[in-house]
Structure formats: C-alpha cells, structure tokens
Chains A and B, each alone.
Chain A
Amino acid sequence: GQNIDQPTEMTATEGAIVQINCTYQTSGFNGLFWYQQHAGEAPTFLSYNVLDGLEEKGRFSSFLSRSKGYSYLLLKELQMKDSASYLCAVRDSNYQLIWGAGTKLIIKP
C-alpha cells in the first residue's frame, strides 16, 4: 500500500529553527509537495521537490532524497504565525496526490 509518515505534532520556540520530516512509500514518484494549513482553512502551497536536493524559499526550505523516500521541511526564524499544520504530499505514478496526515506545529513565545 501507499504510505506517508510525518510526526503528529511538534513544538518549537519563536525565533528558532524546526525541521519536519516526511517519509514515503508510494507506487512511483512524480514529485513531493509541502503545504501549510491553518486551522479551519484550506491548504496553501509551500514547496515542490522532484529532484534530490534542497530547495530554498525565504525562511522555508525543503529537502528531498528519492533513494531514501525522505523529505524534510525546514522553517527558520520561526514566527507565531507559523503555527499551523504542515502537510506532506507525494504524487504517484498515476499522478495522484497521496497525503500525509499532517504535522501540527506549535510555536511558543
């Protein structure tokens, strides 16, 4: 079966750095996405990785290792508004998005 694993919840301090990991087992791979979802709202796109390596976008970076079936989202200089759920999604060989359950990130002052 297809499976995406990410931690259920993480806590970090304002101004710090946090890394959210995602491991996947899917039938084929056509890209990995990270989304941010605030409570009661729809997800918003953060990043897309299809090749191995690090993609940096301001305070957010995403890393992919296809051989290990592994990705992480790195958030720097954490702000209170970063408190949200972070969803990892993989597009499989049928171009379907397989979603992780999301990681709830709690930022403390």
Chain B
Amino acid sequence: GAVVSQHPSWVICKSGTSVKIECRSLDFQATTMFWYRQFPKQSLMLMATSNEGSKATYEQGVEKDKFLINHASLTLSTLTVTSAHPEDSSFYICSAPGLAGDSDTQYFGPGTRLTVL
C-alpha cells in the first residue's frame, strides 16, 4: 500500500526558532497533500492543503506567514513553523490522497510531535 513518511518524528526547540517538517509520499506521486494539527485528546484539525506547483490553501484562522508550506515536488511537501512558541506545541500530521482497494482515502504520515520550550 501507499506509504507517507514524515521527518522528524519528534522535535524540541526553543521559543522563537523555526522548525521544518517534511512529508514524503514514498511510492506514489501526490499533487495534493494535507497538513493537520492535533492537540491532546482533540480531533484532527486541517491546517492547509498543499498543492504541487502552486500556493497552499489555508484554513480559516491559520496564519500563512507563520506556517509556511512548500510543495516543491510530486513527492515532497514541507511545513515550516516560523518563530515557534509554546502554544504551537502539538502533533503535526500530513496526509496524501490515495486508493485503498476501491475506496479513495487519505494515507497519513506517522506524525511529528513538536514541543516548544
């Protein structure tokens, strides 16, 4: 089946620094990827839709200047959290659409746990 990888799996950084998270589709091409954030015991929240070769589409309330998304190729999307603060600490997950049998679905990366001190 399709595999999506994320790197790093966890990161701890100081407040004010920037953190880059990579999302790769390993054996398929993804013109679209999705970035989610999940706070403890809460639902997945879609942050933005990453589009290869064009600008990302951000959800309402998500600061595009703070969460920079680059979809440089058909297998790689990156999310950069700029000037991170403790309130940005969360579990960040990317996904790419694909097929599971006859059903279209999303394949999720393993997630990146960000802790901002």
Residues of chain A whose beta carbon lies under 8 Å from any beta carbon of chain B: 31, 33, 40-45, 47-48, 87, 96-97, 99-102
A45, B110: Cβ atoms closer than 8 Å: no
Residues of chain B whose beta carbon lies under 8 Å from any beta carbon of chain A: 34, 42-46, 91, 93, 95, 100, 103-111, 113
A101 to B40, CA, bound (A): 11
Total cross-chain contacts (CB, 8 A): 42
Nearest-neighbor residue (CB-CB) of A44 within chain B: B108
A43, B44: Cβ atoms closer than 8 Å: yes
B46, A41: Cβ atoms closer than 8 Å: no
Minimal beta-carbon separation of A56 from chain B (angstroms)? 13
Contacts A48-B100, A99-B43, A101-B42 known; A41 to B110 CB distance under 8 Å?
A: yes
Nearest-neighbor residue (CB-CB) of A100 within chain B: B43
A48, B105: Cβ atoms closer than 8 Å: yes
A45, B107: Cβ atoms closer than 8 Å: yes
B108, A43: Cβ atoms closer than 8 Å: yes
Contacts of B103 in A (CB 8 A): 45, 47-48
Give the residue of B42, B45, B93, B105 whose beta carbon is less than 8 angstroms from that of A42. Answer: B93
B43, A42: Cβ atoms closer than 8 Å: no
A45, B104: Cβ atoms closer than 8 Å: no
Of the A-B pairs whose beta carbons lie under 8 Å apart in the complex, a sample of 28, sorted by A's number, is: A31-B104, A33-B105, A40-B91, A40-B113, A42-B93, A42-B95, A42-B108, A42-B109, A42-B110, A42-B111, A43-B44, A43-B93, A43-B108, A45-B100, A45-B105, A45-B106, A48-B100, A48-B104, A48-B105, A87-B43, A87-B44, A96-B46, A97-B46, A99-B43, A99-B44, A101-B42, A101-B43, A102-B43
Nearest-neighbor residue (CB-CB) of B94 within chain A: A42
Nearest-neighbor residue (CB-CB) of A30 within chain B: B104
> Which of B44, B91, B110 has its CB near the most chain A CB atoms (within 10 A)?
B44
Minimal beta-carbon separation of B68 from chain A (angstroms)? 22
What 4 A-B pairs come out closest when comparing CB atoms? A48-B103, A42-B108, A101-B43, A45-B105
